[in-house]
Structure 1
Amino acid sequence: MDQIVPGGASATPGGLLYSGNDWNFQIIRNCYDAIQEIADKELGLEIYANRIEIITSEQMLDVYTSHGMPLGYKHWSFGKRFIGHESAYRRGLMGLAYEVVINSDPCISYLMEENSATMQALVIAHAAFGHNHFFRNNRLFREWTDPSQILDYLEFARGFIARCEERHGQRAVERILDAAHALQNQGVHRHSGARKLDLKAEQQRARERREYEDSMFNDLWRTLPSDLPGEKDGPQDSATRRRLGLPEENLLYFLEKNAPRLAPWEREIIRIVRMVAQYFYPQPQVKMMNEGCATWVHAYIMRRLHELGRIDDAAYLEVIHSTSNVINQPGFEAGGGPSFNPYALGYAMMTDIARICVDPSDEDRRWFPDIAGNGDPVGTLRHAWAEYRDESFIQQFLSPKVIRDFRMFRLRDDTTQPYLLVDAIHDEAGYRDIRRSVALTYDPGTFYTEIEIVDVDLLGDRTLVLEHRSRKGQTLQPGDARQTLDYLVTLWGYGVVLKEIDSQTGEVITTHAVNPPG
C-alpha cells in the first residue's frame, strides 16, 4: 500500500497533466494540484487535509468488509463478507468501486492501482474534494462526529478486543460481538439532539470503566428481593423505571449500563460496538446528497480541466463514459427494488439547482422564487450541502423538471382492490404529492425500526419488556424477531418479551417471548 501526501511539485501551467492511461506518483501529485486550484478558486470547497493511498483490488475488497475503515477489530462476519465479495468479483458478477473515502481527519481516500490516469484524477476530485467537503460541512456530520478521533479509537478497539480474546478466549468474545452486532442498529441515540462523540475521552476513560463496578448494579440487583409481592405500576416500580431511564430506545446503551450478568470487559465491548455504530449513524441519512455532491464536483472539475487544456479529448471521453455509468438510473422493469440510484438522483437535482440559479424557466420561478435566477449556483449548492439531509433536500429542491426527467408517478396499492391505482402524475398537484412521497422514502423514521425498552420486572423474574410501534400494520418477521431476541437474551441474561403495538390504536398486535436456555 503506497501513500501520497499531496503538496509536491506543480505541473507546468497550461500543459497536459498526462497523456494515455499510465500514471505515476508525480502525475497524481500534478493532478491533485490542478484539481485543488479549481476546487479552491472556483468552487470554494472547504476540506480536511487529504491522505491518498494506492491499494490493490484485493485490498479494496478488504476495505469493503470493514465499513471502509483502514483498521478495526476482527470478527468472522467481516471475513464472510470478504469471501462473498471476492467470489462475486472473480466471477464477474460485481465490479469494484474506483475509490473508497473515509470520514476522518485527515480524510483518507483509497485509489485502486488498476485505475487509469484519468480515473485516478476523477476519483481524487470525487473523493478527496467532493466527499471531503461534504464530510466537513454537512450539519449532520458536524454535530454527530469528530473525524480527528475515529482512527485512534478504532486502534484502541482493535487492541482491546484482541487482549480480551487472549484472556477470555475467542468464543467468549465472539458471543458478545455477535449479539452486539445483531443489535447495533438499535444501539444509537437518534432523538437526543447533538451528541458529538468524544472518542478520545472514551479511550482515556476505558481503563477506569473496566475497573469500575457499576453502583447501580450493586444496589439495584444484589439487594433486590426476588420473592416479595408487589403491584405493577406502583410508586416503587415508577421510581425504578425513572432510575433506569425508561423508556430507552438505545438498547445497547441500556444493556451496557444495566445488564446484571455482564462482566466489565463485556460491557466495554458492547460500548465499542455502540460507539462505532453511533459514528456511522449520519451516513445513511445523507447518502444521496453525499454521492450527488461528489459526482457534481468531479463532473465540474474534470470539465474545467478539459476546458483549460489540462486533459485531452480522449481523457474527457473516459470521464463522460464513467460518469454516465455512475449516474445511470435503471427503469422499473430492470428490478432492484423501488429505490433510486443515489448518484443519479443526487447529481440530477444538483445539476438542476445550478440551472435554476442561472437560467430559470417560468415554472422554476414559481416553484423556487428564492433561488431562481440568483446567479450563484455554487453558493446555493454549498448552502444545500451544509444544511440539509436527503429527506429535507428532496422536499425542498425536487423540481417538476427532474420529476419529468425521471418519469416519476405514484402508485397506490390498496390490498382490498384487485388493481393498482395511479394517483399522482405530472400535473401541479401530482408534482407535490410525488415530491412528498419520494422524500418520505428517505425519512430515517421509515428505515429504523421503532423499538424501545419500556419496563423491567424487578420484583419477579427480571423479564425485560420491549415495545415495537408498528406502522400501518407492518409487523416484524417472527423468525427474525426471535433470532434478534435470542441475542438480546444473551446480553441481558434473563427473559425478554417484545410487544408489537399498533401505533394508531395502541392495541397489542402480537407478542414475542424468549427465555434463556436451561
Structure 2
Amino acid sequence: MERIYETSDLEAWDEKIRVKVEEFGLTCYDQEFELCDHTQMLGAMAYHGMPAHYPHWSYGKAFERQSTLYNHGAAGLPYEMVINASPSLAYLMSKNSLCLQILTIAHVYAHNDFFRNNATFKFTQADNVIPAFKARADRVRDYMEDPSIGMSKVEPVLDAAHALSMQCSRNPAIRKLSQDEQKQRALAAAQPPADEYSKIHKRPDYIEPDLSKVPLEPDEDILLFIRDHQPRLSDWERDLLTIVHQEAQYFIPQMETKIMNEGWATFWHREIMNSLDLPQDIYLEFLVRHNQVVQPIAGDINPYHVGLKVWDDIKRRYDEPTDDEIARDGKPVMTGNEAMFALRETDRDSSFLRRFLTEDLCGELGLFEFQSQDGALVVTETPDEGEWKTIRETLLRSVGTASMPVIKVEDADYDQNGTLLLAHEHDGRNLHPGYAEHSLAHVHRLWGRPVALKTESAGETQVWCYDDNGFRDAS
C-alpha cells in the first residue's frame, strides 16, 4: 500500500538529506522546492524550467507536443527539474511516491552542488539568473505590445535568432580578444620570422596586414556580430539578438556537462539514500527506481548510466587501483572522493570522457558504433575488436555542443558587395544542404543582404549563397 504523506513529511526528509549533504562534503546554493502537477511540469519543461520567460510560439508547440505524448502514454515526465540559480529552484511532481520525493530531493542537491562548483557554470551569474530571465521576458512583452512594433515583427526576429543561437562561443573561459588586441596580433603575425643569417641573404618582404577587414579574425558569435555590424537594425531588434544570445550562454554549460552532471547526481543520490535510515518499503522501492534510472537504453546513450559508471570507476581507480594501473600511472596521491571533487570542479563531458572512458569501461558499458548501409543499421566498431578509441571519439563528437557544426563569420564584405561570408570548420562531417538553406535564410533575414557559406564536400571547397532570389550553389 502506497504511503500517504504531507508536505511536513517532505520537509522532515529534506532536513535529514541536508545533513547528509554536508557530511559528504557537497556545497550547495540555498535550495527551494515547488510541488507541481503534471500540467505545471509540462509548462516548466516547455519553458526550460524558468518561472519567467518571454512568449514565443515554439514554447507553445513544445508544450502541446509533450502534453499529447504524455496524455497518450507515449512519454513520461521527469521526476524533477532543477534550475542553476542562487537560490536554486526545483520542481517536484506532486503525484510522486514518498520514496521518489526523497530520492529526487537527494538528486537535486547533488545537481545543486555541481552547478555551484563546476567551472563551466562560473559565468552564468547564478545569483541573478531568475531576475535576469524575468527582465528579458518583460522587455520582449513590451516590444510585442508596442503598437509600432507588435508580435508580427518580433516573432520573425526571434525565429531567426533561435535558429542561430548555438552558433556562438561555447567556452566562456576562453576570452575573446578585443579589436585592438586582434590588430596587434595581426601586426605581429605579419612580421618576418627572426633570421640569424639576415646579413648574408635578403630578408623576406614585410607584407602589411589588411587591418580594415571585418572581422579581423573569424567570429563565432554570429548573433552578436550581426547585432554590432548590421546598421539597419532597430534598437529593439538588437536587443532581441542580445536576449537570445544571453539565454543560449546560460544553457550551454548544461549541454556541455550532461553526462558528468547526471552521473554526479546519480552517484550522490545513491550514497545519500544508502546512508539514510529508510523504512524497508521505501528502501526497496528506491532500489527499483534507481535501477530504472540507470538502466542502459538500446541504441542510445543514457547519461545517468554512463556518467555513474565513469564516476564509480574513478573512485575505484584512486581507492583500489589495480597493479597494472599503478605500474602505468603511479600510486594515487588522492583518495577517490578527493579526485572526484577535483574533477567535478574542472571538467566538462568532452575532457571527462576523453580522460576516463577507458577500454574496460567501453566493454562494460557495451558501447558500439553503427552506421546505415543500404537501408539497414550495421555495427561497424565494437570494443572487443580493439576499436574502443574510435567508439570514444565518435561519442565525444556527439556530446554537448560537439554535435553541432562550428560556423564562424569570416568576412562582412565578401566580394566587396556587402555579402556576409560564413565559414564552416569541417571536421569530417558534411553539412546537410537542406539545413544549410534554412540556416542561411535566417542569417539573410537578420543581415538584410546576401550571405554565403563556405564548407567542404568530398575534399573540395563548396560555397552556398542566399539572397533575395533564394538559395543556390555558387561553387
TM-score after normalising by structure 2: 0.84
Aligned length: 437
How far apart are residue 60 of structure 1 and its match?
A: 0.5
Instruction: Map 1:293-372 onto structure 2 (within 5 A).
Output: 293-305=264-276, 310-332=277-299, 339-366=300-327, 369-371=330-332
Give the distance between the partners of 1:443 and 1:74, measured in 2 at CA. Answer: 26
The amino acid that maps onto 1:90 is N
Q: Is the 8 A contact 1:493 1:516 kept in 2?
A: no
How far apart are residue 497 of structure 1 and its match?
A: 1.5
The amino acid that maps onto 2:399 is Y
Give the 3 Å change call, closer, same or farther, for CA 246–383 of structure 1 in structure 2. closer
Instruction: Map 1:380-399 onto structure 2 (within 5 A).
Output: 380-399=339-358
How far apart are residue 405 of structure 1 and its match?
A: 1.8
- 1:408 is matched with 367
Instruction: Map 1:109-258 onto structure 2 (within 5 A).
Output: 109-127=90-108, 129-142=109-122, 144-167=123-146, 168-186=149-167, 188-190=168-170, 193-194=173-174, 238-242=210-214, 244-258=215-229
Q: Is the 8 A contact 2:42 2:63 kept in 1?
A: yes
- 1:45 is matched with 26
Note the alpha carbon deviations across 1:60-108, whole angstroms, 9 max, x for none: 1011111221111000000000000000000000000000000000011
Instruction: Map 1:445-460 onto structure 2 (within 5 A).
Output: 446-457=402-413
- 1:483 is matched with 438
Give the distance between the partners of 1:443 and 1:114, measured in 2 at CA. Answer: 32
Give the 3 Å change call, closer, same or farther, for CA 78–386 of structure 1 in structure 2. same
Give the 3 Å change call, closer, same or farther, for CA 512–477 of structure 1 in structure 2. farther
Q: Is the 8 A contact 2:32 2:89 kept in 1?
A: yes
Q: 2:235 aligns with which of 264, 268, 292?
A: 264
The amino acid that maps onto 2:6 is N
- 2:204 is matched with none
Give the distance between the partners of 2:372 and 2:150, measured in 1 at CA. Answer: 54
Give the 3 Å change call, closer, same or farther, for CA 191–57 of structure 1 in structure 2. closer
How far apart are residue 450 of structure 1 and its match?
A: 1.8
**Which blocks of at least 5 consecutive residues in structure 1 are unaligned?**
1-18, 197-234, 333-338
How far apart are residue 480 of structure 1 and its match?
A: 1.8
3-state SS, counterpart of residue 509 of structure 1: strand
Q: Which moved more, 1:77-86 or 1:153-162?
A: 153-162
Q: Is the 8 A contact 2:258 2:400 kept in 1?
A: no
The amino acid that maps onto 1:134 is F
Give the distance between the partners of 1:414 and 1:121, measured in 2 at CA. Answer: 43
How far apart are residue 136 of structure 1 and its match?
A: 0.6
Give the distance between the partners of 1:458 and 1:511, measured in 2 at CA. Answer: 13
Q: Is the 8 A contact 1:409 1:426 kept in 2?
A: no
Give the distance between the partners of 2:131 and 2:140, measured in 1 at CA. Answer: 14
Give the distance between the partners of 2:172 and 2:20, measured in 1 at CA. Answer: 39
TM-score after normalising by structure 1: 0.77
How far apart are residue 382 of structure 1 and its match?
A: 1.2
Q: Is the 8 A contact 1:456 1:465 kept in 2?
A: yes
Q: 2:454 aligns with which of 493, 499, 505?
A: 499
How far apart are residue 516 of structure 1 and its match?
A: 6.8
Give the distance between the partners of 2:431 and 2:415, measured in 1 at CA. Answer: 29
Give the distance between the partners of 2:209 and 2:441, measured in 1 at CA. Answer: 26
- 2:190 is matched with none
Give the distance between the partners of 2:230 and 2:39, measured in 1 at CA. Answer: 40
How far apart are residue 441 of structure 1 and its match?
A: 4.0
Q: Is the 8 A contact 1:496 1:515 kept in 2?
A: no
Q: Taking every aligned residue pair, what percent have the same amino acid on both sides?
A: 30
The amino acid that maps onto 2:119 is R
Give the distance between the partners of 1:161 and 1:322, measured in 2 at CA. Answer: 41
How far apart are residue 311 of structure 1 and its match?
A: 1.3
3-state SS, counterpart of residue 140 of structure 2: helix
- 2:81 is matched with 100
Note the alpha carbon deviations across 1:263-293, whole angstroms, 9 max, x for none: 0111001100011011112111110000000
Give the 3 Å change call, closer, same or farther, for CA 470–140 of structure 1 in structure 2. same
Give the distance between the partners of 2:98 and 2:237, measured in 1 at CA. Answer: 48
Q: Is the 8 A contact 1:247 1:453 kept in 2?
A: yes
Give the distance between the partners of 2:439 and 2:291, measured in 1 at CA. Answer: 41
Give the distance between the partners of 1:432 and 1:462, measured in 2 at CA. Answer: 45
Give the distance between the partners of 1:52 and 1:382, measured in 2 at CA. Answer: 25
